[in-house]
Structure 1
């Protein structure tokens, strides 16, 4: 059995956040199954839904956002392994599906509620134009954004400060969502996953892992709020700039 040190206490795009996004996506699409590459696209557009004419994106709409599509592959694979070992999803011949249906209850934070809304929109969009057409649309857009990110120019000073404001606002929403996700997985570990964790310790983190992730998210909220307050003191004109994230 691996030790806790095998599970980095990561916040953004770490095991907890990625697994929660994928679980919401799959539970929203209960009864449907998706291969790895399609889930990779759905994970990306759950937070950049505005790029495919969906709800307002949850993550900052920066010129470098396309790079996120290429760097999440490993974190998605690890998150799927965890969800499979926990019995929250199933895998048949390389396609994944949820074992439970989204019960429709809203999550406690705007970030997870936003993921849920974006997932519901993706389901409706695929129904309207066909799942293959929508998958192709997502793939074309993701590849285009990834290519654009390679040639993105550094922002000018005013753009940089506005982008920082948006990023801090988005980060706070994500960290609050991470707190919520940590508590959800703690509850599952305590009730449903206890036996599974004994047999799959190399894939399922110990209960204390999610406590540590929650503590780190709490600490980072404080530091991000401090940076955000400092930015508004430095550039008070940004106070009246509307946020560009959900």
Structure 2
């Protein structure tokens, strides 16, 4: 009998988890497309919604969570790549650079998500759209700086005026 090696697979903050979060955010904003900086900020806002005037946060308050945003960018890239492999997200080339958009088919997958966390994530993504969706890049940057500090924003190396 063949012995199967057990691998330690972490689903928390994995490309799968982050990819689904970003997919749900992009679906809430559909047909609008967002760049990596917006997605990084919006992912942080959605899981820490109570810090930004929303309902209870999806993730617990942990010390030094302001530093999360510094490592999120690469996790979000990995999550985007995974979702693009399954044709749930696609790239939009624009004058503003590379943007990401949910595909027409993504809502069928999102409709299948029925866990409590998934439903809450959909709700927080709609809150995100209604609360921050029309803010300019400068306004959103100011909100992030107020809560996370200017140094956190400065490490997000993609400054521009909106998407």
Q: What TM-score, normalized to structure 2?
A: 0.73
Alignment CA distance shift 1:117-1:145 (3 Å) = farther
Q: Which residue number in structure 2 is paired with residue 45 of structure 1? A: 45
Check the 8 A contact 2:90/2:101 in 1, yes or no.
Answer: yes
Cα distance in 1 between the residues matched to 2:150 and 2:53:
14
Cα distance in 2 between the residues matched to 1:81 and 1:25:
15
Correspondence 1:94-243 to 2 at 5 A: 94-100=98-104, 102=107, 105=111, 107-127=113-133, 130-132=135-137, 135-141=140-146, 143-144=148-149
How far off is 1:120 after superposition? 0.1
Check the 8 A contact 2:14/2:75 in 1, yes or no.
Answer: yes
Structure 1 unaligned regions, length at least 5: 1-6, 148-246
Structure 2 unaligned regions, length at least 5: 1-6, 153-163
Structure 1 stretches of at least 4 aligned residues deviating more than 4 Å after TM superposition: 103-106
SS at match of 2:51: helix
Cα distance in 1 between the residues matched to 2:55 and 2:149:
19
Give CA deviations for 1:150-171 in whole Å, capped at 9, x if unaligned.
xxxxxxxxxxxxxxxxxxxxxx
Indicate the structure with greater helix content. 1
Cα distance in 1 between the residues matched to 2:41 and 2:76:
11
SS at match of 1:92: strand
Cα distance in 2 between the residues matched to 1:25 and 1:58:
14
Cα distance in 1 between the residues matched to 2:118 and 2:142:
24
Q: Which residue number in structure 2 is paired with residue 60 of structure 1? A: 60
Alignment CA distance shift 1:121-1:38 (3 Å) = same
Cα distance in 1 between the residues matched to 2:87 and 2:111:
21
Q: Which residue number in structure 2 is paired with residue 30 of structure 1? A: 30
Alignment CA distance shift 1:108-1:62 (3 Å) = same
How far off is 1:95 after superposition? 0.5
Check the 8 A contact 1:66/1:146 in 2, yes or no.
Answer: no
How far off is 1:142 after superposition? 5.2
Check the 8 A contact 2:36/2:73 in 1, yes or no.
Answer: no
Cα distance in 1 between the residues matched to 2:128 and 2:122:
10
Alignment CA distance shift 1:56-1:27 (3 Å) = same
Q: Which residue number in structure 2 is paired with residue 225 of structure 1? A: none
Q: What TM-score, normalized to structure 1?
A: 0.50
SS at match of 1:34: coil
